[in-house]
Amino acid sequence: MQRAVKRGLARREVTSPTHIGVDETSFRKGHDSVTVVTDQPGGHVLHVAEERKTSSLSSYDDTLTEGQKAGLESIAMDMWPADIKATLEQIPEAQSKIAFDKFHVAKYLGGAVDQVRKQEHVALMREGWEDLKGTRYDGLTNLRNLSRPRQCAFKVLRASTLKTARAWAIKTLGMRLWHYTSRTWAEKRWKQWYAWAIRSRLGPIKKVARIIKKHLWGILNAVLLQASNGASESMNSRIQGIKTRSRGFRNKQRYIQAIYFHFGGLDLYPEGVCR
């Protein structure tokens, strides 16, 4: 595998990616991760770097020519400060190319709704009410995927005056603000959403609203560029599948080799051997 990956990387043709995604995938439990850069249209891994520091993503940017850097149209990522810093330092006009996609915003908002539900459930149970019992996943799941009884129960919850219902409504509105083609209108609607969220008196929702306000410029880029990190998230799942089937890896170099071997889109065969 090591020899095959070495051959494949040496043979890789010079290309100019236009839409890339940056994500991290875990190596071991905890915060031990590697940075993975994915070509969004092609669906293969362009670069893998150890850890998740500014230098990790910079090591990929250093391989690009000035023309290739300028040719990048969108860079989808989450709101990790090191990735943002590396991109702003290396890529021309990065402020208009970095896109914080819908998936990560939904993840933040979903976590906030769940925190509100937990806090309210504890308070209600103390008073002998079980209105939120068994509803942990209802607000995080697409309603179409719920069973008929759960859909009916959730509709009752949604129409109630509970804090959880209000948090869910705020999250749902946030997920409906991704279709605009005008930056002015998109910004206006997101600011209206922020005003509602910050006045909600729901601690977890207010915390996420402040994060979204700080990163609104990248969210607006994602809306207008229709940029998504879905390909990177899909790649992350496939990489974790390889790790599971391999029963883990002894060190990161072997892990990185396996990622390139399976998902690098490389020509791995020895010289003179055809597929």
Map out the domains of the chain as residue ranges.
Answer: 2-100+228-263, 102-224
pLDDT tens for residues 8-38?
A: 999 988 888 999 999 999 888 766 889 999 9
Mean pLDDT of 53-71: 92
pLDDT band at 136 (very low <50, low <70, confident <90, very high): low
pTM recorded for the entire structure: 0.85
Mean pLDDT of 149-165: 68
How far is 228 from 231, CA to CA, in rounded Å?
Answer: 8
How far is 256 from 37, CA to CA, in rounded Å?
Answer: 12
Mean pLDDT of 69-88: 94
> Which of 24-38, 214-228, 252-266 bottoms out in mean pLDDT, i.e. has the lowest?
24-38
* Fold of the domain spanning 2-100+228-263: Nucleotidyltransferase; domain 5 (3.30.420)
CB contact burial 39-63 (16+ within 10 A = b; e otherwise): bbeeeebbbbbbebbbebbbbbbee
Burial category of 137 from C-beta neighbours within 10 Å (exposed 0-12, middle 13-18, buried 19 and up): exposed
pLDDT band at 133 (very low <50, low <70, confident <90, very high): low
DSSP 36: E
